[in-house]
Amino acid sequence: MTEVAILGTGAYVPDRVVSNDDVGAAAAVDDAWVTRKTAIRARRWAAPEQATSDLAAAAGRAALASAGLTAADLSVIVVATSTPDRPQPPTAAYVQHLLGAVDAAAFDVNAVCSGEVFALAAVEGVLARKGGHALVIGADVYSRILNPADRRTVVLFGDGAGAMVLGTGAGGARIRNIAAHSFGDLAHLIEVPAGGSRLPADQAALQAGLQYFTMDGRGVRAFVEERLPQLTKQFLHESGVVPDDIAHFVPHQANGVMLQTVFEELALPRATMHLTLDRYGNTGAASIPITLDEAARAGAFHPGDLVLMAGFGGGMSAGFALVEW
């Protein structure tokens, strides 16, 4: 088994800035309410002509440039998304075409907001056995599936994409361990009811608003606050490290108030928690790679630093990655 490392990172967010007052108007909430509940102050929404693949390709180009590679060097492209361009084909196929990566196999992973970590787990195993380079992108355009009147969801989400280039050999940030968990008995907590084989998005479904993203906020918060600390501690133990060893914590950017509670429970005494949700909101599978890229470009990581990534989302799902910078 060959070690796999992150060789470069990249991100892209749309130009359009949407304020709390903008997004809260139809939901009858204001900036003060949104900030108090979520710590989110703004988010970016895609332009009408932009789809998930467009954002993903832009982030992919930035990651390739960071790694000093071209699309011709890629053997695999994975897009983690729960807002694909279309139900089929995979959004990754469009990204492959946009990048001109003609020799890369392309497929999608859907673990909702844990998707980037699940995609890392899938690709890390392939590269460890066969070598080569892979582009792993988390990308979502949630603005297209939000109910404007639902204050529980519409204020949370933004659009964006983040990417990592993985490879084998010397150099890069070494992936020390990855773990993924799913809890299908809780799948009802986060869902888009219509648009699949169980309930097609027919006229009746659309009239009932079943094409929109729905979330049981209390159930999700209970899952995160009760299970994430336990799963994180288990992951660190399995990775052979203790909380004092962690220098950086890069979580899924779900809700700033909730994350502060979780971070305190984790008791990582030396760790800096990195957040971008105040400016970008919850960008789904893109949130971890966007935040990792921003911290990396700001020079926050130093050689030897241990970086803990923690994703959680629909399914319910949770994923962890430990990286040595």
Residues 111, 16, single domain; the answer is yes
**pLDDT on residue 129:** 86
The CATH number of residue 31's host domain is 3.40.47.10
- Rounded CA-CA distance 71/52 in Å is 19
Q: In terms of C-beta density within 10 A (0-12 exposed, 13-18 middle, 19 or more buried), how is residue 205 classed?
A: middle
First CA to last CA across the chain, in angstroms? Answer: 20
Residues 186, 320, single domain; the answer is yes
Q: In the numeric block, which tokens belong to residue 96?
A: 């492959």
Residues 34, 147, single domain; the answer is yes
- Rounded CA-CA distance 177/99 in Å is 29
Beta-strand runs (E) in 98-186:
105-109, 133-141, 159-168, 173-182
Residues 187, 116, single domain; the answer is no
Domain count, the chain: 2
Residues 152, 221, single domain; the answer is no
- Residue positions annotated with a catalytic role: 113, 252, 282
Residues 226, 115, single domain; the answer is no
Say if residues 167 and 315 touch (Cβ distance below 8 Å): no
Residues 102, 183, single domain; the answer is no
The label of the residue with tokens 């789809």 reads 51
Instruction: Examine the fold and report which residue of 115, 147, 171 is the final residue of a domain before the chain moves on.
Output: 171
Instruction: Examine the fold and report which residue of 154, 171, 188 is the final residue of a domain before the chain moves on.
Output: 171
DSSP bridge pairs for 300:
none
* Residues ≥6 apart with Cβ < 8 Å to 190: 112, 213, 214, 215, 216, 220, 313, 314, 315, 316
Q: What angle do CA 304, 297, 132 make, to 5 degrees?
A: 70
**pLDDT on residue 169:** 73
Coil vs helix vs strand at 103:
coil
Query: In terms of residue numbers, what domain contains 50?
Result: 4-171
**pLDDT on residue 171:** 83
Residues 55, 126, single domain; the answer is yes
Residues 192, 282, single domain; the answer is yes
Residues 205, 229, single domain; the answer is yes
Residues 151, 235, single domain; the answer is no
Phi, psi of 217 (to 5 degrees): -60, -45
Residues 99, 186, single domain; the answer is no
- pTM summary value: 0.95
**pLDDT on residue 128:** 86
The ranges of the chain with pLDDT < 50 are none
**pLDDT on residue 1:** 62
Instruction: Examine the fold and report which residue of 149, 171, 193 is the final residue of a domain before the chain moves on.
Output: 171
